[in-house]
Amino acid sequence: MKKIQTSIASGTELPDIIWGEAAFRGALYELNVLQSLSGEPYNFDTSNLLDFELPLLTNSKGELVGLEQSGSPGALAYKRDLAKQYFGTDDPDKLTAMFTDWDTFIAKGKEVYDKSGGKTFMLGSLMDAYVIFSNQSTTAIVDGTKVNTGEVLRIFTQLQSIRDNNGEGKLAMWSPTWNASYSQDNVIFYPAANWSPEFVIKPNDKASTGRWGLMVPPEGGYPYGGTTIGIWKDSKNKDAAWAYLNWLLGTDEGAEANFATSDYILPLKSFFKDTSKLSSGADEYFGGQDLGKFWVEKVFPNMKSKAVTKYDQDIYSSSELVLQVMAQDKSFDAKQALEKWEEQLKKNHPELTFE
């Protein structure tokens, strides 16, 4: 993102193809450097995409400015041995049925903490929970320049409840101790996308076989990560860029190639007509679970999303800072967290109004 901004400021050329990672894609869209794919001459038919994907690919003008490299469905990864020890089953469907809502999950977390003598937690950190809660929500946190503080307070209140019931291990997401916990017995659940097994879980727990499972979290699947690929609007090679982009991310043939080489699941409705071809087979590492079928049949059907905004990365950073305080200070409640969060966000965005 910084390189793109620097190039714009200096008047130098951008690449023909521009990638927008989930964290900053909303800000990228508002730089007005991406070609509209919904207008002439491309006229990409947005009805071909799964409904949840559209808000993630559209700028504030309502233009489709990119296509998704992978649908990036989010779920919960869990350790089967610990699930069996504390909940009596390691079956993903039975666990999903057991945790009907987050209040139930939080209550079970208190039981786990007590039974383990304070050694085992449901989640590694409050940010693990925040990733799920914030992405499950379809309510915009920022609409134009108006901030919905009620929605932020709702999320922080849930997170305070997790902390107060000892449901998280204060490990700081992505830290060395958090990474190390994958191979230990101190954390049961982790937020996980379809890229997590290959890039997070297996590298952090290399010695395991059959220990892991994936389940639908309370209140359903959620978008977790992903990368938008768009075309620079001043590119001299737009035809070639579109030929590449449209085939790779807009056709069944490209979708099949993506799945075969990278296990990426493109959010094309036509690609989901025959889900049998999206089976990845039994994965011994995940106790024989078919991960392809899991994502397609259990997670994608109930995914929802909200529009991306240019404030998304700062919203995340401000939340991360506030939740570090909440995790360490038992007297720091959701209302104080909201006040601190507002303060942080105002530093970079004085134009925002908080309602």
Say whether 258 sits in a helix, a strand or coil. Answer: helix
Q: What is the pLDDT of residue 38?
A: 92
CA 272 to chain centre: 21
Measured CA to CA, the distance from residue 19 to residue 192 in angstroms comes to: 22
Q: Which residue has the tokens 């995790």?
A: 327
* DSSP H or E run through 317: helix 312-328
**Nearby residues of 50 by Cβ (< 8 Å), 6 or more positions away:** 71, 267, 268, 269, 272, 300, 303
From first to last of its 355 residues, the chain has per-residue pLDDT tens of 999 999 999 999 999 999 999 999 999 999 999 999 999 999 999 999 999 999 999 999 999 999 999 889 999 999 999 999 999 999 999 999 999 999 999 999 999 999 999 999 999 999 999 999 999 999 999 999 999 999 999 999 999 999 999 999 999 999 999 999 999 999 999 999 999 999 999 999 999 999 999 999 999 999 999 999 999 999 999 999 999 999 999 999 999 999 888 888 999 999 999 888 889 899 999 999 999 999 999 999 989 999 999 999 999 999 999 999 999 999 999 999 999 999 999 999 999 999 8
Name the helix (H) or strand (E) containing 314: helix 312-328
Domains detected in the chain:
2-71+226-273 (3.40.190.10), 74-222+311-354 (3.40.190.10)
Q: Is residue 66 within 8 Å of residue 25, measured between CB atoms? A: yes
Tokens read off for 46? 């947005």
Alpha helices (H) in 78-224, listed in sequence order: 80-87, 92-98, 102-115, 126-136, 149-164, 176-180, 196, 202-204
Three-state DSSP class for residue 112: helix
Contact 310, 27 (CB under 8 A): yes
Token code pair at residue 80: 């089967």
The SS3 of residue 216 is: coil
Q: What is the pTM of this model?
A: 0.94
